[in-house]
Chains A and B, each alone.
Chain A
Amino acid sequence: MDEKRRRFEAEVLPHLDAAFRFARWLSGSSNEAGDVAQEAILRAFRSFETLRGSDARAWLLAIVRNCHATAFRQAQRRAYVPLPETYEDHDGEAMIAATPDPESLSIREDEQRTLTQLLSTLPEEQRVALVLKELEDLSYRDIAAVTGVPIGTVMSRLARARAALKERAREESAGGARGLS
């Protein structure tokens, strides 16, 4: 094993769990998360020289985010999206929604949701900010670097995500589901 590989295994590979978790939150599936995490690790290895002293975990998570974005665009082009069962061709509104929004479907169909599912109802940018903060404990500065937005935006996304989850958890517990309070 050469010097580069040894340093990579010591500095970057310990963050594989974080990379996998983050990919899972981005993609919503373990299989895809594995592929994304693997691709990210390989890309990280190839550009290991660019790490240079910055935080290895934030650096790797930024690569994960890019890999997911690429994979997501590719999947969108070739995925087969079923027409919703509820589609009725006399319903003028439904015609516009050629691509159903799985999240909104699950909100309607699934009244009893766990915290995980609540989290998945957040807009992606809010969910990503919250996951990076609460699960990976990244600083605002690192979250800003990973997501490519200013720190102020990170702060407002976090605030909106937390407020929305609190609100939804309150609604859930009013309906008798497992909540936060």
Chain B
Amino acid sequence: MDCPESLRAQAYFDGELDAAAAAAFERHVEHCAECRTTLEDHQRLRTALRADLASEQAPAALRARIGRALDREHSHSPRAWQKRPFWLGALSGLGAAAVAAAVAFLVVTAPVQDPLVDQLVAAHVQSLLPDHLIAVLSTDRHTVKPWFAGRADVSPVVADFAAQGYRLVGGRIDPLDRQRAAVVVYQHGPHVINVFSWVTDRRVLPRDGTQSGYHLAFWSAGNLEYCAVSDTGWAELLALERLLREASRAEERPE
């Protein structure tokens, strides 16, 4: 592509030159091997692409779906295409964040989407609203841990890792999959980390991942499953997971 005419060769190949310019280029190409090669390369690529891809057609089902959608357009309901459940509007009184959480909860998009992920992100977002984060405010694990007894269905590991930068700030109960999940709340710098825990059930834990800007780290320890959710970095989140796993192991060991 060193010949200064290479863009002109492309324009010629694409049929973009007028008759005079095309004739001039044809004279040029007679004694420019490089432009001849360029034209041949373009042609090879075009042939291969068209052979591979050009024949794809819209599925018949899509065509039928579009036909029905156009029929509905006729019935003069300008907003029919939005198809939003009416009660979503009713929820708007609860504030934008609540609606966002509700939408995050309700909208299931890709098949890989695990409803548990949606629930956890919604619960995390909810916890960031004023006065939702903490039910028992304490930096003392000996206060937080007994508080869960009788309130949650689980008794998770609770530990303060202030020395490592994860300050225990409290706990609360969140409904999760028909369980009362225990949530231990940590503060890491400016970031809140919610550590959810629930009793192991039949499901396969989702993979660690990111949704709506929040990272979710899953693990299981003993008969419990855990998920740490935060907008902190992965390294910070996984470091807390390591600390909690170690704490679980220490708890399991007989004193």
Residues of A within 8 A of B (CB): 2, 5, 8, 13, 16-17, 19-21, 24, 30, 34, 37-38, 41-42, 45-46, 75, 77-83, 87, 89, 95, 98-99, 114-116, 119, 130, 133-135, 139-140, 155-156, 158-159, 162-163, 165-166, 169, 180-181
Contacts and interface: CB of A to CB of B under 8 A. Distances in A.
B110 A38 contact: no
B6 A159 contact: yes
22 contacts: A2-B74, A5-B70, A16-B66, A19-B58, A20-B58, A21-B53, A34-B65, A37-B58, A38-B65, A80-B112, A83-B208, A87-B208, A98-B210, A114-B52, A116-B52, A134-B45, A134-B46, A155-B7, A159-B7, A162-B42, A162-B45, A180-B45
Interface residues of B, number: 54
B215 interface: yes
User: Which 3 residue pairs spanning A and B have beta carbons closest together?
Assistant: A20-B58, A83-B208, A82-B209
A163 to B, nearest CB: 6
Interface in B178-224: 206-212, 215
A141 to B, nearest CB: 9
A56 to B, nearest CB: 16
Nearest to A179: B48
B84 interface: no
Interface of B: 1, 6-7, 10-11, 14-16, 41-42, 44-46, 48-50, 52-54, 56-59, 62-63, 65-66, 69-70, 73-74, 81, 103-104, 107, 109-110, 112-114, 117, 206-212, 215, 233-235, 238-239
A33 B50 CA distance: 19
Contacts of A82: 112, 207-210
Contacts of A139: 15-16
